[in-house]
Structure 1
Amino acid sequence: MFIRIVKMSFHEEHIQKFLENFDVMKDKIRGAEGNRFLELYQDKNNPCVFFTYSFWETEDDLENYRQSELFYDVWTFTKKLFNEKPEAWSVDKLVSLE
């Protein structure tokens, strides 16, 4: 399993549109094959910046999602709202303390 972190920055006037669409799509994204966890964060100092944090079983699962109609629908809508190019990282968890 690995973690995918995506940083997105939106025009302020588009934040509500993004949040409304995410609310509609979040369960579908979470239900994608191999997705085990999904969270959305908003930066405390810059309310235009958001992060998604998701766990995926395999890289193939993430790639299959990225090639799916669901991803196409989500990304086609979302990318029109950006004010900067998004950034993404795939990382392995090394340590977790609770």
Structure 2
Amino acid sequence: MLVRIVRMTFQEDKLSTFHAIFDRSKQHIRAFPGNCHLELLRDPANPAIRMTYSLWTSADDLEAYRRSELFRKTWAATKLLFADKPVAFSAEKLEEVNPSEL
């Protein structure tokens, strides 16, 4: 399982535009082959920061998404709204601790 987190700082007056883009694309992203989970998060200390948290079956699936027309169109529209350079990273999920294991 691959975890992908993208941290984006937006121009404050562009947040509603970003949310409209996300609303239009979220179901398509979630339905993309290999996507297992998608969340949109907000930094509680900075209301202009949003993060996406997604889970992918493999790095190849994430890369296929990043090469897709869906990603190209969504990212092209989104990056126009940034106030700062985005930060993205991936990590391999090694273990998940469930409450029943405590």
* 1:92 shift after superposition: 1.9
* 1:2 shift after superposition: 1.1
* Equivalent position of 1:62 in the other structure: 62
* Equivalent position of 1:18 in the other structure: 18
* Larger-Rg structure: 2
Structure 1: 5+ residue stretches without partners: none
TM-score computed with the length of structure 2 as normaliser: 0.92
* 1:21 shift after superposition: 1.0
CA distance in 1, matches of 2:26, 2:61: 17
* 1:45 shift after superposition: 1.1
State the one-letter code of the partner of 2:44.
Answer: K
Partner deviation per Cα, 1:10-34 (whole Å, 9 max, x = no partner) = 0000000001110111000111110
Identity of aligned residues (%): 47
How many residues get paired?
98
* 1:41 shift after superposition: 0.1
SS at match of 1:37: strand
State the one-letter code of the partner of 1:19.
Answer: H
Partner deviation per Cα, 1:33-76 (whole Å, 9 max, x = no partner) = 10000000011110000110000011111101000000011001
TM-score computed with the length of structure 1 as normaliser: 0.95
Alignment of 1:69-84 (within 5 A): 69-84=69-84
Alignment of 1:15-54 (within 5 A): 15-54=15-54
Aligned alpha-carbon RMSD (Å): 0.9
* 1:94 shift after superposition: 3.3
CA distance in 2, matches of 1:57, 1:96: 15
